[in-house]
Structures are given as C-alpha cells and as structure tokens.
Amino acid sequence: MFGKIALVGSGEWLPVMAEIEKDLIDKNKPIYVQLSTAAGQEGETRLEHWKNLGKNQASRLGVEQRWLPVFDNDSANDENLAKQIEGAGLIYLSGGDPTYLSESLRDSLVWKTIVEQWQNGVSLAGCSAGAMALTNWVPTMRIRLHKSKNEVKGLGLLPNLRVIPHFDRMVGWIPDIITRYLMNIPPNVTLLGIDENTALVGNLSEWEVKGLQSVWILTKEGRTEYKPGSKIFLN
C-alpha cells in the first residue's frame, strides 16, 4: 500500500503547517526524515537555517528529527545516509532549486530508498521545489539560470502532474511563463497551482486541499479554484 503524498505550495516546517505534517506522520513510527537537498547550493548558513526549522517542527510534533545532509549526487549515493531513511514516519523534501534537487537525487540510492519507503506506506511530502521535482517535468521558475534547458527532467513519481508552487504570489508577475507551460503540456497531464501555506494531500487518484488558501487546476480555457476541504480526483 502506497503512502500519502503531499504537494505543498510553501510553509514547510513552520507552525502554520504543523497540523498537516502531523496528520502525515505514522504515529507508530515517530521519525521525521527531512532533506534540504534543493538548498544544497545555498551555503552553510542557509542549510543550518533549514536544519533548525526542521528541528523546531519535529519538537512541536513530538517526533524525532532525522535531517539528512544530502546536498549533491555524491551524498545521495551514500549508503549510510540512505539507510537512515528506513523506519521513517514521514519523508519531506523542502524548498530551493527544483532543477538542482532533481539532478542530485535522480537515479540515486537515496531516491530509490525514498520510493521504496513510500511504496511500503510511508508518507512523502514535497514543498515548493520538492513538490515540483516529484513530477516528470520541472516547470522551473529559474529558467534564466538554466538557459540551455527549456525543460528539466523531474524525479517522475507523479508523471501526470506538473506543479507551480507559491501560486498566489507568482501569478501576478509570471503570466507569460504560465501560458508557456500550458502550451507545452500533453493532453494527459494536469497543471496545478498551489498557493502558499496550502497543501494537496492524496493517494495518486483522490486528493484533498488542506491549509489556508487554494489549489488551482490550470487549463488553456482558464483556471478552477479548489478551497480547503475540497476533493480533487486525478487520473
């Protein structure tokens, strides 16, 4: 039985999202595995910031923090780090650069272990870059940093979805990017906009909006809003 998946627009490891994270953690396995791989290029100060955020959230939830220093492809293939994922009650990929996250974890031992744990019932969450990377294709907001790539291959766990996080904040100043995504999306793929402090939680086919704001399904014809408590059924 596969675990739940949470696609989060922003707010990982903050008090505002604690209840959502609490609901995702297996109460019989109070171990919170946290990976800040997407921030692996941000420097020691920022990485320490992420570690402390995760530590404080784990304390609020009354669970053990297991923050893994997986910052590049080499560390993503470290057997000792991969082994620490085993026994998790929740695995969480935090925000940063979705391209870097995808390229660091793709085909790695750590990613293989994450998928195995999820397939055995452990919940998996991705926030911002973490949510984007779980799909087949990363609609990166940092296209200018990757000029040679119009598309970035994601981790492929959710091949029929694409995610735009921070949607409420971004929609006002990147309508051209959203339009470009819509023009390139295959017929069987759904484009989701997830607002800040909001999550879409589900089991591949049936999802529920949780948090403070909304999730949007974007099509060439327009957008449909789903408020907290709404159910979304996706193929």
According to the model, what pLDDT value does residue 56 have?
98
Mean pLDDT score of the chain, rounded to an integer? Answer: 91
Residue type, 39: A
Q: Are 38 and 100 in contact (CB under 8 A)?
A: yes
Identify the CATH number of the domain in which residue 95 sits: 3.40.50.880
Structure tokens at 2: 């596969």
Contact 38, 105 (CB under 8 A): no
Which residue in the block uniquely carries the two structure tokens 């780090």?
A: 81
What percentage of the chain reaches a pLDDT higher than 70? Answer: 89
φ, ψ (nearest 5 deg) of residue 5: -125, 135
- Contact, 49 vs 107, CB < 8 A? no
Find the domain containing 70 and state its range.
Answer: 5-233
In angstroms, the Cα distances linking 88 to 5, 119, 120, 198 are 14, 13, 11, 23
What mean pLDDT is predicted for residues 16-26?
Answer: 98
C-alpha 63/C-alpha 190 separation (Å) is 35
pTM: predicted TM-score of the whole model, two decimal places = 0.93
Predicted confidence band at 141 (pLDDT cuts at 50, 70, 90)?
low
pLDDT at 170: 81
| Residue 221 confidence class, pLDDT cut points 50, 70, 90 | confident
pLDDT confidence band for 147 (50 / 70 / 90): very low
Main-chain phi, psi angles of 218, to 5 degrees: -105, 130
Q: Report pLDDT for 138.
A: 86
How many domains in the chain? Answer: 1
Is pLDDT above 70 for 178? no
pLDDT at 152: 83
Residue 215 pLDDT more than 80? yes
**Interior/surface letters 191-224, b for 16+ CB within 10 angstroms, e for the rest:** bbbbbbbbbbbbeeeebbbbbebbbbebeeeeee
